[in-house]
Amino acid sequence: MNKTALITGSSRGIGRATAIKLAQSGYNVCINYIERDDLANALAKDLCEKGFNAMTFQADVSDKAGVGAMVKEVENKFGIIDLIVNNAGVAGMALFQDVTDEMWERYFNVNLNGARNTIQAVLPDMIKRKKGVIVNVSSIWGMHGASCEVTYCCTKHALIGLTRALAKEVAPSGIRVNCVAPGVINTDMVQVLGQEVLDELAKETPIGRLGTPEDIANAICFLASDEASFITGQVLVSDGGFIN
């Protein structure tokens, strides 16, 4: 029987690549999105046509009730959720003195509270079954900080704290919690920086290129796999040597 994975923010970028790799690995996958229903539905259609099991669900992860409805729908279609990948996130640049209450609250509501909402929605069943995996997607900026990204960095740092503390709490119940910290990844989120900046970032990366969504999907899927069965509470950095 296939395992089931819920990947938040998976209509594009890292989430999309992760949904594809997990489906190829035999998971039933739920593709969560908030706006891009065209991309989410196209991805699900493509996966299903290839013989994989996929569904979509529109939900803002910051909305606890919406997340609860999503989890219920996934369980109705595929059964108990075995894996959660908390990938949904928002980012942007601003001087700290220009950060508005709305910006601060939105970033925390999506990047941190979104993970809390999905975890709390599935954790009771995981504890009951003494089995489950949670992978959170943080950032190298959640470990080291970045100028003009204080809000984003705070949320990603908090996500690492959640990972480490929750891992200790639920390990006796057979549940593993880990985190991936991507470096500069070539997604829509960084394309706004412009090609000149991206080229410079690639030069600053010792491995000589920007990361791809597939690079991070590989790290996520490793942490989700039985090959990582003795790994919990850890942060796996995938940044091409950008920060060491």
DSSP string, 102-139: HHHHHHIIIIIHHHHHHHHHHHHHHHHHT-EEEEEE--
> Domain 4-235 belongs to what topology?
Rossmann fold (3.40.50)
Nearest CA to 137 among 40, 72, 213?
213
- Coil, strand or helix: which one is 194? coil
Predicted TM-score of the model (pTM):
0.96
What does the pLDDT read at residue 200? 86
Q: Single out the catalytic residue among 27, 33, 107, 152.
A: 152
What does the pLDDT read at residue 194? 75
What does the pLDDT read at residue 192? 67
**Cα(115)–Cα(87) distance, rounded to whole angstroms?**
8
**Cα(85)–Cα(7) distance, rounded to whole angstroms?**
5
What does the pLDDT read at residue 8? 98
152 is catalytic: yes
Domain coordinates of the chain in residue numbers? 4-235
**Cα(132)–Cα(144) distance, rounded to whole angstroms?**
29
What does the pLDDT read at residue 60? 98
Spell out the per-residue pLDDT of the chain, length 244, in tens.
799 999 999 999 999 999 999 999 999 999 999 999 999 999 999 999 999 999 999 999 999 999 999 999 999 999 999 999 999 999 988 999 999 999 999 999 999 999 999 999 999 999 999 999 999 999 999 999 888 899 999 999 999 999 999 999 999 999 999 999 999 999 877 776 778 888 888 898 999 999 999 999 999 999 999 999 999 999 999 999 998 7
